[in-house]
Structure 1
Amino acid sequence: MRTYEKRGNKWVQVHKSAAVIGKNGLSSSKKEGDGRTPVGLFSIGESFGFASKPANLKMRYTQTNNYHYWIDDPTSPDYNKWIYYRGNPNKRWKSYERMNHYLYKYAVIINYNRNPIIKGKGSAIFLHRWRQSTSPTAGCVALSEKQLLNVMRWIAPSKQPKIIIGDQSSILTQLKARNTPAK
């Protein structure tokens, strides 16, 4: 993973770290449960985690608990939404993720399939901490906890941050399409 910021008319690399992606690689046609990380340009949403808010964070942060869920049940009207619910989740949804999961000590929402939400196209795509550097995700992007916190502290919502996910060729194509060469 590399992060860039625009200085004048040039894109300058700020961070570089190892990252892991979905166990089945990248996909430009992601589907729910395929184990792939979606390719494309996406806005960055808010941050969350079961731990207390990290110091020096500029973005909105929600400390999660047992009542926070992300719904990955394509038959539900709540599909690909973050829901706070105090009832029995098994009676409401066929599939969901608890937002206080071990990997979500700290995390950032990647706004994939959010506006509009297309059922079955994939859900719950986050930037979160990894199990280890050799363990892929179910479709998210994961970093070491230290690097994740560095990136989270660097993100400035006022600058309308984006994430481009892909291989080198697809990332360069995205940048060229926006006429914004990286240096």
Structure 2
Amino acid sequence: MGGMRKNGVVRTGLAAMVCGAVAVTLSACGGPEGGSGGGAKGHPGARGGVARTSAPAADPTRIPDVGDRLQRRIPSDSRQVLAVYGEGEDSAESTAVLYTKSGTDWEKTRSWAAHNGRKGWTADHHEGDKRSPVGVFTLSDAGGVLDDPGARLPYTQSETFQAPHEWGKSYWHDFDYVIAIDYNRLRGNPPDDPTRPWGDDKGGGIWLHMDHGSGTSACVSLSKSAMEYLLRTLDPQQHPVVVMGDKADLKA
């Protein structure tokens, strides 16, 4: 959940909020066009059938299912990309996939079910629209209520991240671990730093955080084990970024 702030002390104070996500399965399949006569495609099999033609192999130098528009925004020095594939423009279900670059090729490392904004995605995010912003954003700062689990990113531990207990009990642990998504924020500050360079109307406080089982206000949420893995794996020396959006926007 997100969209609220509270007073606290964490290098700068003011605990920000929240986010969400969605489950998505990525697959590709193809088949033959059968039939007899000159219109058939493929090569006859041993019994006179038509052999299946395979789909073109994916380009290993690109993040799968991400079009040129966003692919070009991935920094050339980035070697860790968390791709969040939203199920649909108005869906809160998504899948997060971590890719690691080996040489010139991207290799799938891990994947998890996730949630995004409860109303889906937008390329023009505004405060309170309950949609997650589509785009490519750096990942540079982390923190949470719990002690540092061995994060490589700078980690700020503070009780001020605690979700307010007037929220439903299922939300109380949302911010036990958070990783700031660098949307409308100043990098190099704790995730709850309130500074919004583009103005308050463009929203802010958009994080990767722990999942409560449904959509968020704008963030991306994952399981505790996924957050622990990301905190221990995302390395500032590898210039990690998140590429996020619904599948159609990602491919555009």
Q: What TM-score comes out, normalization by structure 2 length?
A: 0.52
User: Letter of the aligned partner of 1:20 in structure 2?
Assistant: H
Say how many residue pairs are matched. Answer: 138
Q: What code does the residue aligned with 2:158 have?
A: T
Q: SS of the residue aligned with 1:166? A: strand
Map Cα deviations across residues 158-182 of structure 1 (whole Å, 9 max, x no partner). Answer: 1111101112343345xxxxxxxxx
In the TM superposition, what are the counterparts of 1:46-125 in structure 2 within 5 Å? 46-55=141-150, 57-66=151-160, 99-101=161-163, 102=172, 103-114=174-185, 116-125=197-206
Gaps of 5+ in 2: 1-95, 164-171, 187-196
**Gapped regions of structure 1 (runs ≥ 5):** 67-98, 174-183
Residue matched to 1:137: 216
The Cα offsets for residues 96-128 of structure 1, whole Å up to 9 and x where unpaired, read as xxx222310001000002264333011110000
Q: Note the C-alpha offset of 1:15.
A: 1.1
Return the letter of the residue paired with 1:34. D
2:106 corresponds to which residue? 11
Q: Distance in 2 between matches of 1:27 and 1:146?
A: 28
Report the Cα distance in structure 2 between the residues aligned to 1:104 and 1:16, rounded to whole angstroms: 21
Greater fraction helix:
1
TM-score normalised by L of structure 1: 0.71
Distance 1:10 1:168 in 2: 22
- The counterpart of 1:37, out of the listed 132, 135, 142, is 132
SS at match of 2:209: strand
Higher relative strand content: 1
SS of residue in 2 equivalent to 1:137? coil
Q: Which runs of 4+ in 1 moved over 6 A?
A: none
- Tell me, in whole angstroms, the C-alpha distance in 2 between the residues paired with 1:59 and 1:35: 27
- Cα distance in 2, alignment partners of residues 119 and 47 from structure 1: 21
Percent same amino acid among aligned pairs? 31
Shift of 1:154: 1.2
Q: CA deviation at 1:148?
A: 1.3
Structure 1 residue 161 corresponds to structure 2 residue 248: no
